[in-house]
Structure 1
Amino acid sequence: MSHPVLQALLPVVILIAIGYYIGKKHWVSANGTKDLSNVVFLVLAPALLFRTMSNVHLEDIDFRPVLVYFAAMWLVFGAVLWKLHFTRRAAVLGLASTFSNTLMIGVPLVSLTYGEEGLVTLFALVSLHAFVMLTMVTIVLELALELENARHGKAPKQRRSITTRLVGLGHTLFKAAKASLLHPVPLPIVCGLLFAQTGLKLPSVIDQPLQLLGAAFSPVALLLVGASLAVTTLGGHLRVALLLVGMKNLFHPLVLALLGLALGFSGVPFAVMVLTASLPIGANVYLYAIRYKVAEQEVVAAVALSTMLGLFTVALVMLLVGYLP
């Protein structure tokens, strides 16, 4: 029980299991789960993110491991896109192979494993994670949609000029970028960093409530993960789901680790990036599958299976991370 991997992972497993039991017992209704999700994302997460980053100075953050993380992500995403050809389905499955659940599982796990130092590195990634990845995949999906429409003769009756198409694409990208920046995850990180640069300290009357709310985030988020798993079915997409789990939970962190080692990276920031790459698939992937009407059931199955098997694959990656320099 004294092994550091067990010490970090076991509380996560227990809380997810309790949440699963709560879901199976229907102690929280479907609407109640949605309400709880709003509390986690709109109240608890911003409190934790803002308070943590309000004491961090930009010169103390090493963004180089974050750049390596994105490089590995683009390599894996590009490989999926090449293998499945340039289609909406390929883009969504590529996103599923690279987009981590950095908040609900990543924050508690990194906090237990690496403490405040690890969280600062993780939040540096989280501040850019959704913006970079979702903007990128929006570009790919919009271009793929145009190509599919052209291939199948579904282009608009009135042929649009290249200028009109570019303006439409630009409008879509602007909306995606705006939504990513004003999201309740990156926004408090940026606000916290800006506040930290002023050199001011939060008054205790504000700091203490934020501390209490932030402390509630990890247990409530993990209970919510378990409750969500209790009402999710895998359907008939087990094979695709298993392939995506292999790509996301194992291949993605492997590519990141090899790339980082080749570039001479080491230490806690690099270990945090490898661990983050091994996290289960994030829920935002499902939102894109719904929006572009492709691979919805495959993604639902993959997110659920990735989270369930993630308890084992993350443990394996954590053991191997211990051998990194």
Structure 2
Amino acid sequence: MNGLVVSSLLPVVILIAVGWLAGRMRWIRGDSVEDLSNLVFLLLAPPLLFRSMSTVRIEQLSLKPVAAYFVAAGLIFAATLVWRGFNRTGVVLALANTYSNTVMIGIALVGLAYGPQGMVVLLTLISLHSLVLLTSATVFLELALAQEDAPRIEPGAAGRRPMARTVLRALRNAIVHPVQAPILLGLLFAQTGLEIPAAVDKPIALLGQAFSPVALMLVGITLALTPVGQHWRAALLHASIKNLVHPALVAAFGLAFGLRGLPLTVMVVAASLPIGANVFLFAQRYRTSEGLITASVVVSTVMALVSLSIVMALAGRL
């Protein structure tokens, strides 16, 4: 394993381990996790994301690496629906197989490993990640739910869900979001040619610097407090698809698109990130496979401590 992989992953592993210890020792209790999550997503993430994009010109952005990511994700999503069937469970598992933890783990890891240039590539993906995957999942889930409800609804009876309203709400929530909004606002600010005043930039920078350690410790705390239970075998399968199959497909499509170097490397690493916690929120909301999704998130995150090091070492050769 090369020095870049070790130096990038070691702080990540240590901070997650510190959080895990805090959770196991009950220094941070389960009822405090939501408050910590709000601290990370509502207070620390927006300044970091806004500042990272505040100097990026639109002509610097490249969508071809992002296209490789989403083509691979779309293929896995469709294959999962064929495998598990077009129903709520199938859609949620398809989302689990494709939705990366790009914020809590991805930003910290890519920032450490690939610096500001890598962050621009990752944030380009993040600006579309939830918008594309969560909105698509919402539409498919609502269609699956309507299909499941159809036999219980008499022809012409009230009860059909307003699909257009659901899609518009999903789009709005994906854009007006503590992750999406500062990325878009930072990019818009950059196009003005202005600079953030030093007196304002300093506290923004300090808040952004606090994001990575707190977010990674929160991952460890969550791991310590979340039981895997009887679902670990199925969870291992879904974690393997997310952590290994997804990045392999992104690498294949990226090479087919003529991509090389840092943009492709960052996309492959992003695809190898563990399952994002938003998938569990969908499982809760639609009341399907909650235990399996929880176990899959945990197993995928633990597996990533090893699989990420392998993927990063291989991706560095692309």
TM-score, normalised by the number of residues in structure 1: 0.95
Aligned to 1:145: 145
1:15-26 alignment to 2 at 5 Å?
Answer: 15-26=15-26
1:2 & 1:143 partners in 2: Cα distance? 47
1:261 pairs with 2:255: yes
The question of whether the paired residues in 1 share the 8 Å contact of 2:64 and 2:257 is answered with: no
- CA deviations 1:280-306 (Å, max 9, x no partner) are 000000010011111110000000110
Aligned to 1:117: 117
1:115 & 1:252 partners in 2: Cα distance? 23
Q: Report the AA paired with residue 59 of structure 1.
A: E
Provide the secondary structure at the position in 2 that maps to 1:236.
helix
2:152 & 2:178 partners in 1: Cα distance? 37
Report how far residue 322 of structure 1 moved. 1.8
The question of whether the paired residues in 1 share the 8 Å contact of 2:81 and 2:91 is answered with: yes
Which one of 203, 206, 224 corresponds to residue 230 of structure 1?
Answer: 224
1:156 & 1:23 partners in 2: Cα distance? 50
Q: Report the AA paired with residue 241 of structure 1.
A: A
- CA deviations 1:151-189 (Å, max 9, x no partner) are xx22268535xxx95x70111111111111111001000
What's the RMSD between the two structures over aligned residues? 1.4
Provide the secondary structure at the position in 2 that maps to 1:237.
helix
1:180 pairs with 2:174: yes
Q: Report the AA paired with residue 99 of structure 1.
A: Y
Deviates more, 1:97-106 or 1:61-70: 61-70
Report how far residue 136 of structure 1 moved. 0.5
Q: Report the AA paired with residue 159 of structure 1.
A: A
Aligned to 1:288: 282
Report how far residue 259 of structure 1 moved. 1.0
Aligned to 1:59: 59
Runs ≥4 in structure 1, deviation > 4 angstroms?
none
* Pairs aligned (count): 318
1:210 pairs with 2:204: yes
| Alpha-carbon spacing, 1:157–1:293, altered in 2? closer, same or farther (3 Å) | farther
- CA deviations 1:209-242 (Å, max 9, x no partner) are 0000001100110011001111000011112101
Aligned to 1:28: 28
The question of whether the paired residues in 1 share the 8 Å contact of 2:77 and 2:98 is answered with: yes
Aligned to 1:196: 190
- CA deviations 1:245-266 (Å, max 9, x no partner) are 1110000111111111122111
Aligned to 1:72: 72
Identity %: 50
Q: Report the AA paired with residue 31 of structure 1.
A: D
Aligned to 1:108: 108
1:315 & 1:210 partners in 2: Cα distance? 31
What runs of 5+ residues in structure 1 fail to find an aligned partner? Answer: none
2:289 & 2:70 partners in 1: Cα distance? 24
Report how far residue 2 of structure 1 moved. 6.5
| Alpha-carbon spacing, 1:121–1:154, altered in 2? closer, same or farther (3 Å) | same
Q: Report the AA paired with residue 153 of structure 2.
A: A
The question of whether the paired residues in 1 share the 8 Å contact of 2:2 and 2:313 is answered with: no
2:99 & 2:71 partners in 1: Cα distance? 13
Provide the secondary structure at the position in 2 that maps to 1:280.
coil
| Alpha-carbon spacing, 1:134–1:188, altered in 2? closer, same or farther (3 Å) | same
Provide the secondary structure at the position in 1 that maps to 2:287.
coil
What runs of 5+ residues in structure 2 fail to find an aligned partner? Answer: none
Report how far residue 31 of structure 1 moved. 2.6
Report how far residue 9 of structure 1 moved. 0.5
2:137 & 2:21 partners in 1: Cα distance? 35
1:247 pairs with 2:241: yes
TM-score, normalised by the number of residues in structure 2: 0.97
